[in-house]
Amino acid sequence: MDVDVVVIGAGAIGLAVAAHLCLRQRVLVLERHHTYGLENSSHNSGVIHAGIYYPPGWLKTTLCLEGNRLLYQWAQAYGVPYRRLGKLIVAWEEDELPQLEALLRGAQANGVPDLYLLYPSEVAQLQPGLRVAGAIYSGSSGIVDQMAFMRSLLAEAQSHGALMAFHHEVVALRRGVDGFVVVYRGPEGEEGELPCRFLVNCAGLWADRVGAMLGYEPEGGPYNPPFRHCLNRGTYFDVVNREVASQVRCLLYPLPHSDRAGLGVHVTIDTEGQIHLGPDAQWVSPGEPIDFRNRGEGLERFLEAGRRFFPHLRPQDLAPGQVGYRPKLNRPGEPPCDFLIWEDRGYVHLGGIESPGLTASLAIARYVSRLLGVES
């Protein structure tokens, strides 16, 4: 099989990269599961972020802003369900207002469009019953159907000749004469080898393990920055009381706090109209197995967070929802990190692709293409 590029991983990032690179290169995607998008790309809030939270100059900022625009255009063009329903970031108390205003100034300086500072009465008009000291309204925030988005990427990539090998796990990598040799394990446990010129590591949570297969040092070395992931679990509860759920008009977020690994438990709507509360943020101990099941732990914490938005929320109004894992480059207690996307002689490493990775996916694909010199 003759291919130019091997993409490892068929999540939103790998599929977006494949759909973009296949316009100029022969692309093969290797995915260890039997189909695409079974890990993080299907276990998230499905929010199209505006790019509000990140420092100027970060990839998270620039790729989120560009990705936001590209994702709306893509969803429109390919018939992917989406809604530009807007988002409120609320200050519950007056002493949070300076932080709210600072967040607004930072976002405006980053070039985030369609932002407004709202008085409590304006918030109550937009989201009846919500009592706050003030809020930012972001008009470019929205939601997308993640699975439909990935389906459209897959179809687009395949229609331009990209090949998909599901049930193929990359187990070893080495540099070859003119590129790389990829060693994979197929569906029957058989191993095979495949040469390629470019290698793009979109293995999500496992990108650090895949990078180490090429001899790069996860803690940092002469040829690479540190890329070891530290996982952080995000759990959701679904709001199953229809009366409560029917009150929600837009995405509802608290102010982010620097001591949290996520954005704080928030309220999201999916494209089918279901309401979700979460995710929380729990660090995973080294060696603790990845488990996408929700066993219903932490209900009290979710009730407390949820009652800020819905004061009459009862335990029976919530049911355990999905679970996702953030591949973080910072450790507990350390400040957050940017996406880590670096290139070395035809290898592109995508590390720490946590939120807003889904939003940024189409922009990340273009960035990877530029890093490889496939487009200017």
Ligand X SMILES: Cc1cc2nc3c(=O)[nH]c(=O)nc-3n(C[C@H](O)[C@H](O)[C@H](O)COP(=O)(O)OP(=O)(O)OC[C@H]3O[C@@H](n4cnc5c(N)ncnc54)[C@H](O)[C@@H]3O)c2cc1C
Interaction site with ligand X (CB under 6 A): 8-14, 30-33, 38-41, 44-47, 49, 169-170, 202-206, 210, 234, 279, 324-326, 353-359
- How far apart CA 192 and CA 105 sit, in angstroms, is 54
Q: Which is nearer to ligand X, 117 or 163 (CB)?
A: 163
Q: Which is nearer to ligand X, 14 or 254 (CB)?
A: 14
Closest CA to 39 of 85, 8, 5: 8
Q: In angstroms, give the least distance from the CB of 352 to ligand X.
A: 9
Q: In angstroms, give the least distance from the CB of 37 to ligand X.
A: 6
Q: Which is nearer to ligand X, 134 or 182 (CB)?
A: 182
φ/ψ (deg, to 5) at 200: -120, 120
Q: In angstroms, give the least distance from the CB of 201 to ligand X.
A: 9
Q: Which is nearer to ligand X, 134 or 232 (CB)?
A: 232
Q: In angstroms, give the least distance from the CB of 187 to ligand X.
A: 12
| Burial class, 219, CB count within 10 angstroms (exposed 0-12 / middle 13-18 / buried 19+) | exposed
Instruction: Find the residue with minimal CB distance to ligand X.
Output: 357
Q: What are the tokens at 177?
A: 């004469």
Q: Which is nearer to ligand X, 201 or 224 (CB)?
A: 201
Q: In angstroms, give the least distance from the CB of 8 to ligand X.
A: 5
